[in-house]
Amino acid sequence: MITLKEVNKQNWLEIVRLCSAEDQKNRVFEKTIASNCLSLAQASMEENWTVKAIYQNDIPIGFTMYGYSDELSGYEICRMMIDYKFQGKGFGRQALNLVIKEMVNQFKCDEIFITFVPQNEKAKQLYVSAGFKDTGKVVKALEDELIYSIRVL
């Protein structure tokens, strides 16, 4: 069963060690996503982000960061990652659905944005299959990222 848990003193190091691909271990900027370490640092500096560990039963398998994006003027899932050892098992879909529900409950938002680099085809497939649609806009980051959104209320 997939659950979202607080990142805390007991689990933060396990969460930092998770990565999107084996060749991306110990990188601040992974190929298609910022590392969990960078995300935790960002969330500690910017008040508007919530960070959660993604667990399969008692095993940490991923990480998410979400909240209000000043840049997008709306609520955003800023990070969504499943460790490479657990990809392809449907955990990403389950986690994404949980995050969306949690955001609706926490923020009472009616639209959620998500951004990703164009070459991350697996992420795009997941987001589109969950109902996200291309806004036709791009956000400037280290690399330009596509902006997708979903209406939730």
pLDDT value, residue 21? 65
Token pair 């689990």 in the structure block, residue: 11
Question: Band of the pLDDT at 49, cuts 50, 70, 90?
Answer: very high
pTM: 0.91
pLDDT digits (tens, 9 = 90+) for 51-87: 999 999 999 999 999 999 999 999 999 999 999 999 9
Across the chain, what does the average pLDDT equal? Answer: 91
- Candidate CATH numbers 1.20.1260.10, 1.10.1370.30, 1.10.10.10, 3.40.630.30; the one for domain 2-151: 3.40.630.30
The full DSSP string for the chain is -EEEEE--TTTHHHHHH--SSGGGTT-SB-SSSB-HHHHHHHHHHSTTEEEEEEEETTEEEEEEEEEEETTTTEEEEEEEEE-GGGTTSSHHHHHHHHHHHHHHHHH--SEEEEEE-TT-HHHHHHHHHTT-EEEEEEE-SSS-EEEEEEE--
* Average pLDDT score over residue span 9-23: 86
Residue 45's pLDDT is what? 94
